[in-house]
Each structure stands twice: as structure tokens, then as C-alpha cells.
Amino acid sequence: DTAVSQTPKYLVTQMGNDKSIKCEQNLGHDTMYWYKQDSKKFLKIMFSYNNKELIINETVPNRFSPKSPDKAHLNLHINSLELGDSAVYFCASNLRGTDYNEQFFGPGTRLTVL
Amino acid sequence: GEDVEQSLFLSVREGDSSVINCTYTDSSSTYLYWYKQEPGAGLQLLTYIFSNMDMKQDQRLTVLLNKKDKHLSLRIADTQTGDSAIYFCAENLAGANNLFFGTGTRLTVIP
């Protein structure tokens, strides 16, 4: 299948644990993103990354770190999970400079911290 | 770019038109978008408009942009039950790649 995929779809874990969410795109895009959607459905950018440049939303705690082994992957690692980290995390990707800059989204990972 | 506002809820009867409104604050946006999120799913781009356009029509969808008032709207003609979803407007600021999303409008279509 083509598109942006994320694993796992659901993640339930205890406070204080460290976890990773994986994202892969096979669209040949050069830029990937992580967004957080809270319980009220508000969506906010966390990171954008294109191999050369990582742009971090300054409101994101440094417990969150993106890791990119190659252009097709951008994983999200979270240390010392807190209750407030419970949310749906969406990965997205696009190709910089293309017409209208459409971003393609993954299906989301629902993280629940107990 | 972070204060993009929408009404949270809208209910319409099947067959009627739906109008979803969005107010954004950053006049440097180059593109404005409407994304649809169905329950339990990711976001899908529905349509977009370039900032120098006033209107764009795409089948049942009409996008209106009023740059002076920083107001964007999405009209869905002949709304169907399959249109029930959350609709997000988003802006793409000049020089930036990421999107700033509105608060989302949950559209419920009543059969």
C-alpha cells in the first residue's frame, strides 16, 4: 500500500515509561511531520524534519525527540511518559516546493498513559 | 498562525447545504486548506485555495476566501450522511512548511 503508515495504532502504557511510535512513508517525500491531537480534537504541530533541518515547536517538551534513520522514516520517541501525553499522534509527509504543498497524513497512533 | 478559529459543531439535514466557517489571523498565508477527519481515521485533504483567489468550486464543494476579513468558508451542497466528520481549516504560512489547524468543526448530518 502506498501512503503514510504508523505503528502501533494503539499504545497503552504506564506513566514514567519510554516509548516510540514509528512512521514510514513510501511516497518519495522529503519532509515529515509529527502532529498531536488532544482530547478536544485540537491539532498542533510538534516537529517538521527534512534530513537537513529539524524544526521544533517550542512548546514541545524535550522528553519528545524525533529520530529519522532515513528519508522515509520519522519515529517519535517519548521519555518519562506523563498523563498529559495521552493523545492521538499523527505523522504526515510532503514534498517541499510542490504545488499547494499538500500533506499526507497517517492513520494516527492513540497513546493512552495510565 | 496559531489562532485559527472555527465553530465546534454544526448539524444539518441530509440534502441541505452545510457552511463551515473559519477565521484565521495570519495574512501571510499562501494556501488555505480544508481537511476532513472521519471517526478513528487520519486527515484527508478535501480542497485548498491559493491566497490570491476569492472562490474555488470543486463538485459539491465551494470555498470562499475573504482576505480582508481573514475569513474562509466551506460550503457542501446536498450534504450526505457520509459527510459527517470533523472538518479542519488550515493555513500554510509563507516560508513555513507545517500547517496551523483550526479548532475543527464536527458536522453531523441528520437523515
* Chain B CB contacts of A29 below 8 Å: none
Q: Residue B27 and residue B44: Cα distance in Å, rounded?
A: 24
Sign of the CA dihedral A45, B38, B41, A26? negative
Q: Looking at residue A89, what is its pLDDT?
A: 97
Q: Looking at residue B2, what is its pLDDT?
A: 57
Q: Give yes or no for A107 touching B (CB within 8 A).
A: yes
Nearest CA in chain B to A90: B42
Per-block mean pLDDT, blocks of 10 residues, chain B (111 long): 82 97 83 92 92 94 94 97 96 76 95 92
* Chain B CB contacts of A40 below 8 Å: 103
What residue type is assigned to position A68 of the chain? S
Mean pLDDT, residues A24-52: 90
| Residues A76/A81/A84/A90 CA torsion (nearest 10 deg) | 20
Q: Give yes or no for A52 touching B (CB within 8 A).
A: no
Q: Give yes or no for A1 touching B (CB within 8 A).
A: no
